[in-house]
Amino acid sequence: MSTMTKQIGENLKSSYTVLRVCIKSVTAVLFLSALSAGSLAGVGEGQELYNAYCQICHGVLGEGQTMGKPLTDAPANRLTDQELIDVITDGRAGTGMAAWEGSLSEVEIFDIASYIRNLQGKPALVLGDDDSGPSDDPNVIAGEMLFNSSADCATCHSYDEKGGSVGPSLDGVGSRLGDDALLQALMNPSASIVSGFGTKEVEQEDGTVIRGRFRNDSELAVQIQSEDGRRWVTYFKERVTAVRDSDESVMPDTFANLGANEQQQLLAFLMSL
């Protein structure tokens, strides 16, 4: 083989190597671009799927409707990524939430869950992320124990679908009110009574006075919610001495009677909701 022929061969081999590197580089760029576009498409596809199947019950922005709970409130925000996927996949027994397993693929359910995270103002869904679990703040933990035990708040108020109904639900109360307004509501609950939770007094013929949250006040009767919140009691006006409006909340002054440390704990828990 001549020297010239060998040189041509070496040049061709070198050019082929450069061409292979270029092809690999272009392929890698196209792959990464497709991956990025796929990630964005997943959220977009999730939105399309959400609009098609979910918004009729949960609202366009996850605000909730008559048939479906909000997807942007505190209980929904506290769900881990896997819990959110499980709810969409398996539904929830005893509620109107259907199981979508079989109707939607795993990828479609994942895309819907990712879009719901977008509605919540969170990053894209990532499995194995434990940051959305219960708080590990000692004050919050102690405050939740107080709420459900000695402070007896859970008898009247609910959070995360647990508790009573005599007072308003406290899901999201921290973001709705802020520190100062929440502290004011705890220290002086009669200063601002939430609409729908007003109080009436029913004075019976024996002098007994019943106070409580009311509804369906008509010319004939008024209904007062029992202290345990489990039933509504009807009082016919012709059978009682008087029915009066009250500007005092039925909420007791429990918070004002707590020690400073317990107050901080309970406040920390409520702000975490």
Tokens read off for 244: 């009066």
The region that residue 105 occupies, defined by phi over 0 for left and psi between -120 and 50 for alpha, beta otherwise, is: beta
**pLDDT digits 0-9 by tens, 9-40:** 555 454 444 444 344 444 433 333 333 333 34
Report the pLDDT averaged over residues 214-240. 87
* Structure token pair of residue 204: 């019976």
DSSP characters over 176-239: HHHHHHHHHHHH-TTSSPPTT--EEEEE-TTS-EEEEEEE---SSEEEEE-TTSS-EEEEEGGG
Find out whether 191 and 251 touch, Cβ atoms under 8 Å. Answer: no
How confident is the model at residue 23, as a pLDDT? 41
Q: Which residue has the tokens 């719901």?
A: 116
125 φ, ψ (degrees, to nearest 5): -60, 135
> If you write DSSP's letter for every residue of 66-125 in order, what string do you get?
TTB--SSSHHHHHS-HHHHHHHHHH--TTSS----BTTB-HHHHHHHHHHHHHHTT-PSP
pLDDT band, residue 124 (cuts 50/70/90) = low
| pLDDT above 70 for 262 | yes
Tell me the domains of the chain and their CATH numbers. 1-132 (1.10.760.10), 138-192+253-272 (1.10.760.10), 199-246 (2.30.30.100)
Q: How much is the average pLDDT of 214-223?
A: 89
Q: What percent of the chain has pLDDT over 90?
A: 25
pTM over 0.85: no
Helix axes 173-187, 260-272, angle to 10 degrees: 150
